[in-house]
Amino acid sequence: MSRYRDLVLAVARYGPIERFARRRGLRLGAGRFVAGEGLDDAVRVARDLQRAGRYPILDRLGEFVADEEAADRAEADVTATIRAYAELPAPRRMSVKPTQIGLGLDPERATERARRIAVAAAAAGVEVCLDMEDHPHVDATLDLLETLHDEGHHHLSTVLQSYLRRTPDDLERLLARDPVPELRLVKGAYAEPASVALQTAREVREAFMRQTETLLAGGGIVHVATHDPGLIAHARARRDALGVPRARCDLQLLYGVKPKLQERLAREGETVGVYLPFGSDWYGYVTRRLAERPANLAFVVRGLFG
């Protein structure tokens, strides 16, 4: 699978293919994984998900901005999304990448932007998750969350990645806070070195199960984010065995990935959140989804060639 992933990502970066895909990809299959380029598209799909019994987690795509002006524009875009989202029924959740608002440029200015976003989100009744990125940004993201939590912005949450070797310590750090912040647990999707991340699927799955149990016992709200049926079954079983209310533990999956599984979980009474990305910066996100599973690539190829 690692060779498949590397090949898909290399092909996706080839200039003629990227230019063709950016012109036509959303119309010919890539739109399965993103709501569209505009905010109106995102709100429309979000409403559809709510009618289908799932809640959307809006994410205006973008990360690793190159300058402060781009970070300012990203803040304005996120704030506009929050305002539009306020018109939809609760729960209203968003995901924001800290480097999108300049965390990799100037942490102090990024904190100011995040603070303004937090204020706007509180007024609109929107929960905001500070998404977790590659390992060099983990400390700054956790510091950002704790700074804003200390100011009373408890509607902010973040993400922990089970494949990082540091995650058990980060879990202990966050679970010691009062109140415990909401936390989303994922396997992790960045290509990280063995010095900082587990490298085998078995190790990552075992870590995910241990950390799920720790989170369930930790007293906070837990979002188990995976498409792995075994990990989902484990989380549900341990939640029920520990007597944790379903309101404290829900399941989150990506838009367009295993939709039948999402539908089944919702029918079985689970609260299911769907990470719903949108925006003009969709190409990198979609290529990562294609690189994860051959089935995803096959779906898009069928769209391109009929």
Say whether 157 sits in a helix, a strand or coil.
Answer: strand
51 φ/ψ angles, rounded to the nearest 5 degrees: -65, -25
* Token pair listed for 140: 């700054």
Are 145 and 181 within one domain?
A: yes
Q: What residues make up the domain containing 16?
A: 1-33+291-306
Cα dihedral across residues 116, 121, 122, 128: positive or negative: negative
- Closest to 46 in 3D by CA, of 100, 90, 5: 90
Instruction: Give the per-residue pLDDT at 92.
Output: 95
Q: Is 80 exceeded by the pLDDT of residue 18? A: no
Are 42 and 26 within one domain?
A: no
Instruction: Give the per-residue pLDDT at 306.
Output: 42
Are 45 and 184 within one domain?
A: yes
What is the per-residue pLDDT across 116-132, written as a single tens digit (0 to 9) for each? 999 999 999 999 999 99
Q: Is 136 exposed, middle or buried (0-12, 13-18, 19+ CB in 10 A)?
A: exposed
Are 16 and 94 within one domain?
A: no
- Closest to 137 in 3D by CA, of 181, 105, 115: 105
Q: Which amino acid makes up residue 181?
A: P
Are 300 and 177 within one domain?
A: no
> Could you give the C-alpha distances from 280 to 13, 39, 54, 285, in angstroms and in order?
17, 10, 25, 11
8 Å CB contact between 129 and 96: yes
Instruction: Give the per-residue pLDDT at 304.
Output: 46
8 Å CB contact between 55 and 274: yes
Instruction: Give the per-residue pLDDT at 12.
Output: 57
What is the per-residue pLDDT across 215-261, written as a single tens digit (0 to 9) for each? 999 999 999 999 999 999 999 999 999 999 999 999 999 998 899 99
Say whether 104 sits in a helix, a strand or coil.
Answer: coil
Task: Confirm whether 246 is domain-assigned.
Answer: yes
Helix pair 39-51, 68-85: axis angle to 10 deg = 40
Q: How many domains are contained in the chain?
A: 2
Instruction: Give the per-residue pLDDT at 263.
Output: 96
Distance CA 164, CA 177 (A): 21
Are 27 and 116 within one domain?
A: no
Stated as kind and residue range, the H or E segment containing 278 is strand 272-278
Task: Confirm whether 303 is domain-assigned.
Answer: yes
Are 193 and 53 within one domain?
A: yes
Are 198 and 132 within one domain?
A: yes
Q: Is 90 exceeded by the pLDDT of residue 292? A: no
Task: Confirm whether 193 is domain-assigned.
Answer: yes
Q: Regarding predicted confidence, which is higher, 303 or 224? A: 224
Task: Confirm whether 220 is domain-assigned.
Answer: yes
Are 76 and 24 within one domain?
A: no
Stated as kind and residue range, the H or E segment containing 277 is strand 272-278
Are 128 and 72 within one domain?
A: yes
Are 122 and 226 within one domain?
A: yes
Q: So which residues are the catalytic ones?
A: 131, 184
* Residues contacting residue 188 through CB under 8 Å, at least 6 positions apart: 161, 162, 163, 164, 197, 204
DSSP code per residue over 213-273: HHHHHTTS-EEEE---HHHHHHHHHHHHHHT--GGGEEEEEETTSSHHHHHHHHHTT--EE
Task: Confirm whether 265 is domain-assigned.
Answer: yes
Task: Confirm whether 286 is domain-assigned.
Answer: no
Instruction: Give the per-residue pLDDT at 305.
Output: 45
Distance CA 100, CA 277 (A): 14
Task: Confirm whether 255 is domain-assigned.
Answer: yes
Are 136 and 189 within one domain?
A: yes
Q: What is the DSSP letter of 180?
A: P
> Could you give the C-alpha distances from 83 to 77, 120, 125, 191, in angstroms and in order?
10, 8, 10, 35
Q: Is 80 exceeded by the pLDDT of residue 289? A: no
> Could you give the C-alpha distances from 195 to 163, 165, 191, 210, 275, in angstroms and in order?
11, 8, 12, 20, 30
Helix pair 259-267, 229-242: axis angle to 10 deg = 20
Task: Confirm whether 208 is domain-assigned.
Answer: yes
143: domain CATH number is 3.20.20.220
% of the chain exceeding 90 in pLDDT? 75
Cα dihedral across residues 201, 202, 204, 209: positive or negative: positive
What is the residue-averaged pLDDT of the chain? 89
Scanning the structure block, which residue is given the tokens 């799955």? 205
